[in-house]
């Protein structure tokens, strides 16, 4: 797996808010796609000082995460071809007792989309994390065809983590370019705003999800969520005349060649739920 300049910036923003320490588990070894100078600049951007010397050997995942404050950096993988610390198939729901609840942070920077059994993978990430520890996901969303088995919507992370009682610290929907040097643009994810974002309204750029959550006392691990959009509709009984009128309008537009896609595109631009109306967080 890999971690580049922009992902490093996101992690350092989190470290500035809630400092890193203790024991880190990464899903897979991380190939660092950044220079020493770029890393030092990102530390300065967030008012942080590296805890390990920037001159201490070549820049790799071990050095990078030591600089962020971790005392122990361990990796978990399906095989040992990259020298992982622990061998574990995330498809299974069996974890060695020696690993349960042992890590202060578990970082998935592009792994679970390659794991077929996503529910077990999510459960395992939480199982590895100690109470009070954090889980961090950097996972692909739109326009990642055949990168892995899956592309994820932010609601997967929001609903799974909330259903299991974790505290969401941060949830961004990120738009980026193919160029490694182009900045990432992050938008805060909140369910109400993004539910107004029409199907087909995204542009041609790739998108990803950045999620950070803390395992608080009383949180669970394997509870299966219902998608919150529909759970709330069931609870509020929103099968109203307004929805029927909306459905009739969509059927009418669908009968006119090209009318429905055009209407969706215009609506996404004009209404607050379009990307222009979402809360922009920053560039990374």
Report d(CA 32, CA 50) in Å as an integer: 16
Report d(CA 266, CA 262) in Å as an integer: 6
What pLDDT was estimated at residue 229?
Answer: 79
Beta strands 167-175 and 185-188, pairing class: antiparallel
What pLDDT was estimated at residue 272?
Answer: 42
> Residue 227 gets which letter from DSSP?
P
What pLDDT was estimated at residue 142?
Answer: 94
Residue 212: half-sphere exposure toward Cβ, Cα within 13 Å = 19
Phi, psi for residue 239 in degrees, rounded to 5:
-75, 75
What pLDDT was estimated at residue 70?
Answer: 97
What pLDDT was estimated at residue 231?
Answer: 75
Residue-by-residue pLDDT tens, the chain, 284 positions: 789 999 999 999 999 999 999 999 999 999 999 999 999 999 999 999 998 776 678 899 999 999 999 999 999 999 998 899 999 999 998 899 999 999 999 999 999 999 999 999 999 999 999 999 999 999 999 999 999 999 999 999 999 999 999 999 999 999 998 777 789 999 999 877 777 777 888 888 999 999 999 999 999 998 999 998 777 766 665 555 566 677 787 788 788 888 777 777 666 555 544 455 589 999 99
What pLDDT was estimated at residue 116?
Answer: 98
CATH class as words, domain 2-228: alpha beta
Residue 185: half-sphere exposure toward Cβ, Cα within 13 Å = 11
Helices (H) and strands (E) in the chain, counts: 9, 11
List, by residue range, all CATH 3.40.50.150 domains of the chain: 2-228
Structure-token pair, residue 280 = 């922009």
């Amino acid at each position: 797996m890999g971690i580049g300049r922009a992902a490093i910036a996101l992690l350092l923003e989190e470290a500035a808010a809630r400092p890193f320490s203790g024991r880190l588990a990464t899903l897979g070894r991380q190939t660092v796609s950044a220079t020493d100078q770029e890393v030092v600049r990102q530390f300065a951007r967030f008012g942080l000082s590296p805890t390990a010397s920037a001159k201490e050997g070549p820049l790799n995942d071990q050095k990078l995460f030591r600089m962020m404050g971790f005392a122990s950096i361990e990796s978990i993988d399906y095989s040992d071809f990259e020298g992982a610390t622990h061998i574990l198939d995330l498809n299974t729901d069996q974890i060695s007792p020696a690993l349960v609840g042992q890590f202060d942070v578990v970082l998935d920077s592009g792994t679970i989309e390659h794991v077929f059994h996503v529910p077990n993978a999510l459960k395992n990430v939480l199982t590895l994390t100690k109470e009070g520890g954090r889980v961090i996901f950097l996972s692909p969303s739109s326009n990642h065809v055949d990168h892995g088995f899956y592309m994820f919507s932010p609601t997967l992370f929001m609903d799974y983590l909330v259903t299991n009682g974790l505290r969401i610290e941060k949830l961004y929907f990120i738009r980026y370019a193919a160029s490694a040097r182009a900045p990432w643009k992050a938008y805060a994810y909140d369910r109400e705003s993004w539910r107004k974002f029409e199907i087909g309204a995204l542009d041609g750029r790739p998108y990803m999800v950045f999620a950070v959550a803390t395992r608080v006392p009383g949180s669970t691990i394997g509870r299966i969520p219902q998608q919150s959009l529909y759970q709330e509709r069931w609870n509020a009984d929103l099968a109203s005349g307004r929805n029927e009128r909306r459905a009739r309008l969509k059927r009418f537009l669908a009968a006119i060649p090209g009318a429905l896609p055009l209407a969706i595109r215009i609506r996404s631009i004009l209404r607050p739920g379009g990307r222009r109306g979402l809360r922009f967080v920053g560039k990374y």
